[in-house]
């Protein structure tokens, strides 16, 4: 595998379910991100992890819970979601401030989530 991968690619869940989205990067980066793309809104940043520590949480509801166990993996745990949370969830990675080179972000293919 190369680049940034995400699983599952599609997910349908009920409002009472608990599910997790997984992201893995094979680029040797040390910063990872979750973004949300809704039908009516521009892409918006949800969470940033740099060196496995969360550095930003853009006022995201607590029903979204991120986890970054190491620099290559990022999870987004979902519970008691609402229908308006249906969206495309994109993961990205880049070098962090302590790395060398630039901060170009590379995105995974996304998970299309539908909440029923």
Residues contributing to the site for other proteins (CB under 8 A): 31, 33, 35, 37, 42-45, 48, 50, 55-56, 58, 88, 90, 92, 94-97, 102-107, 109-110, 112
Taking the complex as a whole, how short is the minimal distance between the CB of residue 78 and other proteins, in angstroms?
18
Taking the complex as a whole, how short is the minimal distance between the CB of residue 16 and other proteins, in angstroms?
27
Distance, CA of 55 to CA of 18 (rounded, Å): 25
33/64 with CB nearer other proteins = 33
Taking the complex as a whole, how short is the minimal distance between the CB of residue 48 and other proteins, in angstroms?
5
83/101 with CB nearer other proteins = 101
Instruction: Please count the other Cβ atoms lying within 10 Å of the Cβ belonging to residue 27.
Output: 14
């Amino acid at each position: 595998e190369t680049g940034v991968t995400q699983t599952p690619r599609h997910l349908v869940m009920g409002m009472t379910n608990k599910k997790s989205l997984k992201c893995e990067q094979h680029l040797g980066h040390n910063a990872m991100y979750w973004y949300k793309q809704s039908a009516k809104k521009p892409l918006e940043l949800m969470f940033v992890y740099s060196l496995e520590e969360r550095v930003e949480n853009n006022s995201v509801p607590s029903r979204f819970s991120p986890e970054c166990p190491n620099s290559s993996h990022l999870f987004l745990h979902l519970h008691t979601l609402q229908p308006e949370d249906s969206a495309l969830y994109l993961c990205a990675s880049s070098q962090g401030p302590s790395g060398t080179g630039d901060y170009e972000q590379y995105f995974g293919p996304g998970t299309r989530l539908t909440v029923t």
